A = this chain, B = another copy of it.
Amino acid sequence: MTKRQKNALETRQKIYETACSLIEEKGFANVSVEDITRACGVSKGTFYVYFKRKEDIVFECCKEWFSDVDRKAREHKGTIVEKLAFYFKGFMEGVTCGGAELCRQWVREVINPNDSPGEMCGGKYNYDLGHMTAFLEDAVKGGLLKKSTPVKTLAHIFMCELYGMMTSWCMSDEKFVPDEWVGRFAKVQLPNLLAPYRVK
């Protein structure tokens, strides 16, 4: 990697980090692209070299952990309840780690229909249930769940729970601790939902 390329990467990172802290401080709608570029000493044009749209900045933080939580949960040892609890914990960690404003903006963007104009930088997280179904299919193959398990339906139910936690967290102004929620869910609700499909 040349010095030039290294600098470019640093610029991109600087823009991203400045944007995150400004958004968290003032709210996404109250931060302009020029606010961001002024704050980190680059020009407006530079921003648009690295991000197609202002909104794309919020997808940056999700890029890694979305593939990562998937991999980690797959590798996680334990019962299917433990595996799922781990996945839930990871999802909430990823969604909340940037703070409420970033999460809110992520939700605002991610609920857009798929044919929305403007390609998402870094790939859109869309409602294909991909992560969750793959994860549950692993559990079926691994002998943790019965072959007859309605993977798609379960995936759907679990994603629904995750979106509920995420949205509640956004709206409750960070008053609740995701770990506690996930803990309660794993203890009270998960076993009942999985009971019919578990291999004894």
Query: Taking beta carbons and an 8 Å cutoff, which residues of A are in contact with B?
Result: 27, 30, 100, 104, 107-108, 110-114, 116-117, 126-127, 156-157, 159-168, 170-173, 176, 181, 184, 188-189, 192-193
Contact = CB atoms under 8 A, between A and B. Distances in A.
B163 A171 contact: yes
B163 A127 contact: no
A168 B163 contact: yes
Given A127-B168, A164-B167, A189-B192, 20 more contacts: A27-B113, A30-B117, A107-B108, A107-B111, A110-B171, A111-B167, A111-B171, A113-B173, A127-B171, A127-B173, A156-B168, A160-B161, A160-B164, A160-B165, A160-B181, A161-B164, A163-B164, A163-B168, A164-B165, A189-B189
A109 to B, nearest CB: 9
B172 A168 contact: no
A164 to B, nearest CB: 3
B113 A100 contact: yes
Given A27-B116, A113-B27, A192-B189, A167 B104 contact: no
